Amino acid sequence: MTDAPTHTQTIVCLASFFKGVEFVREAKRQGARVVLLTKEKWRHEEWPHESLDDFLVLPQDAPPEHFIHTVTQIARQHRLARVVALEEFDVITAALIREHLRLPGIDASTARRFRDKLAMRDTAQTAGIRVPEFIGTINYEEIHDYMQRIPAPWVLKPRTDVSAIGIRKLHDAEQVWRAIDELDARERVNERAPFYLLERFVPGDVFHVDSLIINDEVVFAGVNAYGRPPMNVAHEGGVFLSYTIAYDAPERGELLRLNQQVIRALGLRRGATHAEFIRSAADGAFYFLEIAARVGGAYIAETHEAATGINVWRDWAKIELADDAHPFTIAPAQQTYAGIALSLARQEWPDTSSFNEPEIAYRIRKPFHIGLVVRAANQQRVRELLDDYARRFSADFSAVAPPLERPE
């Protein structure tokens, strides 16, 4: 896409959390009319108002119908080109809006495969993709049969939450039945057991692949390894680490192949994804864990940009606005190495001035967090820095919070 497009399109962005600033800025640079819908809690965040043509705030408890009505009122005055979910919890809402207004993009059924872990696994398994053995916690007889067939431990996961929110590791059938009874006693219907799944716990190394897709093809993919599985960090505390895997590593090619296979199986034709895979410590095989139809969180976009020069937020905006007259092209990716160390902090604004290595590419600025993104010509240097930062963060800054049962 050219740097100075002559076309004007209206794009509506949904953001129930503070996400996607660079997407908004790039959409405006590309000549679009940009409208942002967020919720009351995020009204005063540092949104790029200079890049917004309209900024609408909905109540914190606004249901999808409220979003549909609001965007429909926008559509009465402006011809909409795209509706985009910048945040995980808006993916299905955006799809419902597209269906209502007959706009391009994934429909609600496709969106559910990227939000509902049970639908996601079932679709992937049907396509021949290896997943940990799983069962929806719905039918008692099926749950009983599953636990007879699949040895413990298992993980009980919410079907539509993100990261490690609400996940429990269970070691015997009695724990499972007690957990199901506890969930079924909850006041909110959508937090009860049928909205969970049970899955075999697979110990191993966890990887993530972050992609840009257009016309069914992955046109960019950053492949990283986590220092520790995200579930361990969420439940035990510590420093979150992610780093570029070696460009000539055999697992890189396998992960790229699996990632493309998953995206095609689930039916995303254009957009951005964040997928996670685990390499089993027992058999060495890769298992698909989950995928989201959005950019990865935890400053993963900044980490990939440090390694490759590609900012997935910006290029996603270009993809959404591309058409026959203004086709999308992506710059060649660099092949350097990058990584991130990120932690909750005891201090509201941690002082990182003592971290002065020339490899530091980005400093996270977020209350009660400390984080640094580093870039180097080789992976060894990146990992040395991350290990050092993890030790120093833990000694001088890190805080531990109880794992979340629901998104805050």
In Å, what is the CA distance from 94 to each residue of 24, 59, 103, 214?
A: 16, 17, 10, 19
Q: Note the pLDDT of residue 401.
A: 62
Residues of the chain with CATH 3.30.470.20: 204-396
Residues of the chain with CATH 3.30.1490: 133-200
Q: Note the pLDDT of residue 232.
A: 72
Measure the CA–CA gap between 114 and 293, rounded to whole angstroms.
6
Judge: domain 10-105, CATH 3.40.250.10: no
Which CATH number is 204-396 given? 3.30.470.20
Query: pLDDT under 70 in the chain at which residues?
Result: 1-7, 162-164, 234-235, 401-408
Residues of the chain with CATH 3.40.50.20: 10-105
Residue 272 CB contacts under 8 Å (≥ 6 apart), including other chains: 210, 211, 212, 213, 293, 294, 295, 312, 313, 316, 319
Measure the CA–CA gap between 380 and 129, rounded to whole angstroms.
32
Are 218 and 260 spatial neighbours (Cβ–Cβ below 8 Å)?
yes
Total residues belonging to the chain? 408
Measure the CA–CA gap between 331 and 398, rounded to whole angstroms.
38
CB atoms within 10 A of CB 248: 8
Are 371 and 361 spatial neighbours (Cβ–Cβ below 8 Å)?
no
pLDDT, tens digit, 9 for 90 and up, residues 184-240 = 999 999 899 999 999 999 999 999 999 999 999 999 999 999 997 777 776 577 899
Q: Note the pLDDT of residue 163.
A: 56
pLDDT above 70 coverage of the chain, percent? 95
In Å, what is the CA distance from 241 to each residue of 133, 135, 138, 147?
A: 27, 31, 35, 33
Position 219, amino acid = V
Measure the CA–CA gap between 66 and 69, rounded to whole angstroms.
5
Instruction: Record the pTM.
Output: 0.92
Q: Note the pLDDT of residue 4.
A: 47
Cα four-point dihedral sign 357, 362, 367, 368: negative
Q: Which CATH number fits domain 133-200: 3.30.160, 3.30.1490, 3.40.50, 3.40.30?
A: 3.30.1490
Q: Note the pLDDT of residue 2.
A: 42
